[in-house]
Structure 1
Amino acid sequence: MNVVFCSQCPAVWSFMLTAFLGLWSQQVSAVSVVPIPKIAAVGENVLLSVDGVSGDIEGFNWYKGESINTNQMLRYNPFRTPPETVFSPYEGRVRGFPNGSMEISGVNIKDNGSYTVQIQTNIQDVVATVTITVYEKLSKPSVTANLTHPVEQRDSLALTCGTSIAAQTVLWFKDSQRLTSDDRMSLSQENRTLTISNVSTTDSGNYQCEVMNPVSHSTSDPYKLIVYSLPVEQHDNMHDNTWQTAVGVTIGAVLGAALLTITAVLYKKGCNCQRKGNDAGGNIYEVPDVSGVPPHQYSNIIPQRQEGIYINTLNPKAPDSTYTRFSYGAVPMITEIVFHTA
C-alpha cells in the first residue's frame, strides 16, 4: 500500500473552509430586522419585520433586550395550533408571523429599546437584534414671562416655553421671524428659556415658541409683550392724575374749612373773659378776681387762721409731694391782658 502525501492539501482545505465560512457568513448577515415605522409615536403599532431568512422556518423566539433566553416575549411554532405563545406582560400586545416577524401594538415610552429574534430553519440557526424608538406626540406649548410690566432700560425679561420633556427642538419667533442669540438675547441650553437683557421698547411684539420631535411639532399662541418707557405705576395711572388732583384739592378745602370752624367754636367756648369796652387805645378786658376762691381748692396748701385772718401756709407736716405741679380747680382762663396808659 502506497501512501501519497499531498503537499498542497493543507492549502486546499484552508481555501475550502474559508469559502464555507464566507458563504455561511453571507447567509447569516443576509438576515435583517427593520422596525416599521422606524420612529414610532406613542399609541402606534410597530412591526419588527424580518427579511433574508434562508430555508424553511421551523420556529422562532422573540426577546426584549440584546440577548436570548431572558425576558422572552413570544414563541412561535408553525406546527402547533395555535402556533404562538405570548408571555407576560405582553399578552394581547404582540403577535408573530410565519416569516419570523413580530408586531407590537399600542407602543409606549417603556417599549423603547432593543429586541432580539432567534430563528431556527432546516439549514441554519440565526440571531438578529433591532432597536425601536418611541416618542410622545407633543401638545401645544405656552409662553410665560417672569415680568408682566417690564420697563425700558431697567428690567431683564425671561420668556419660558412650557412644553413636554419629549421636545427635542425648541425654536423662538418674534412677529413670525426666527430669533437667535445676540448681545441682549440669550437662550438656555435646551432653548426653553429666552432671556432679554435691558429690555427696550423695540422688544415689544408677539413672541411664540415652536417645539418639535421626530413624530410631531406644535406652536404656541402668540404672547404679546409690551415694554414700557415709564414706571408701570405712572404709566397705568397717568390718565387719572387730573381728576385725582381735583378730588384731592376739594377734600383738602372742605377739611380745612371744617377745622377752622371747630377751632373757632372751641376758642369761643374756652374764653371766660368778658369784654369791658372800647376806647381809642383798643379793647380792655376785665380780669376776674380770684382772691375769694376758697383755699380748699389747692390740694397741697393747708388753710390756717391767725388772729381772725385766713392765711395759706404749706403744711409743714406733710410728706414731700409726689406732684410735679400744683393742681388747680376750675379757674377761668386768661387769654389776653392789655394795659393802656392815659
Structure 2
Amino acid sequence: MLGIWKFLIQVLVLGVSLSVCMNSASGIKLEVIPKNPKEGDIVILQVSDISGSIRFATWYQGQSTDAANQILNYFPKEEIKGPKYIEGAQGLQNGSLKISNVKKTLTGFYTVQIQTNTLQQGSVYLSVNGVIPIALSPLAPLLGMLLFSDLNFL
C-alpha cells in the first residue's frame, strides 16, 4: 500500500514541475495583484513578459481553453463577453484581466491566451480569502515519479 502512495506522490511532483517548466518556456508570466485578495477587492490577473504586440487576449475560467469557459475576448478597441463572463471583469491593454468587487466564489484557476505574432498561454490561481488549490496540474504525477523513483541521477 505504501508503494502506491509513493508512486502517486512521484507522479504529482512531476506534473507540477512540468507545468512550471511549460509556463516558463512560453515566456508569459501571470500573477494575482494583490497577492492575498479579500472579498470586495479589485483584483488584477497581471500578465507580463509578452513578446510582440498584442492583437487580442482571451480569458477563461479554469485551465481549459474550451469556448464554453470564456470570460471575455479583449481586442484593442473592443471587448466581447463570453459564456463565463464575470460581472465587473474588464480586459486591459497589456492582456491582463481586472475584476472589480471580487467574490470568494471566483476562487480558482484562470487561463489566458494572448495572440501576438505567436499564441502565448498561461494560467494563474486566484485565491480569495485564502482558499488554496486542491489540484495543481494533471501532469503533477509524472514529476513525482521522477523525484521519488529509485533511480539516482547524481
TM-score bin (small chain)? 0.5 to 0.7
Matches of 2:69 and 2:25 in 1, distance apart? 24
Counterpart mapping for 1:193-204 below 5 A: none
1:88, CA displacement in angstroms? 4.6
How much identity, in percent, do the aligned residues show? Answer: 37
Matched with 2:57 is 60
Matched with 1:47 is 44
Matches of 2:88 and 2:127 in 1, distance apart? 17
1:92, CA displacement in angstroms? 3.9
Alpha-carbon deviations, 1:213-236, whole Å to 9, x = none?
A: xxxxxxxxxxxxxxxxxxxxxxxx
1:27, CA displacement in angstroms? 8.1
Matches of 1:115 and 1:26 in 2, distance apart? 14
Matched with 2:111 is 116
Matches of 1:89 and 1:48 in 2, distance apart? 16
* TM-score normalised by length of structure 1: 0.30
Matches of 2:65 and 2:106 in 1, distance apart? 17
Matched with 1:135 is 129
Matches of 1:128 and 1:46 in 2, distance apart? 17
Counterpart mapping for 1:207-226 below 5 A: none
1:63, CA displacement in angstroms? 0.2
Partner-residue secondary structure (3-state), 1:135: helix
Alpha-carbon deviations, 1:103-145, whole Å to 9, x = none?
A: 11111111000000001102x1111000011118xxxxxxxxx
Counterpart mapping for 1:242-257 below 5 A: none
Q: Which runs of 5+ in 2 are unaligned?
A: 1-21, 132-154
| Matching residue's letter, 1:125 | L
1:85 aligns with 2:88: no
Alpha-carbon deviations, 1:244-272, whole Å to 9, x = none?
A: xxxxxxxxxxxxxxxxxxxxxxxxxxxxx
Partner-residue secondary structure (3-state), 1:40: coil
1:26, CA displacement in angstroms? 9.4
Distance 1:47 1:121, change over 3 A: same
Larger mean Cα displacement after TM superposition, 49-58 or 26-35: 26-35
1:99, CA displacement in angstroms? 1.0
70, 73, 76: which is aligned to 2:74?
A: 76
| Matching residue's letter, 2:119 | D
Whichever of the two has the greater Rg, that structure is 1
Which structure: greater helix fraction?
2
Matches of 1:129 and 1:26 in 2, distance apart? 8
Aligned-residue CA RMSD (Å): 2.3
1:28, CA displacement in angstroms? 4.3
Q: Which runs of 5+ in 1 are unaligned?
A: 1-24, 137-165, 167-342
Alpha-carbon deviations, 1:149-187, whole Å to 9, x = none?
A: xxxxxxxxxxxxxxxxx9xxxxxxxxxxxxxxxxxxxxx
1:30, CA displacement in angstroms? 2.1
* TM-score normalised by length of structure 2: 0.64
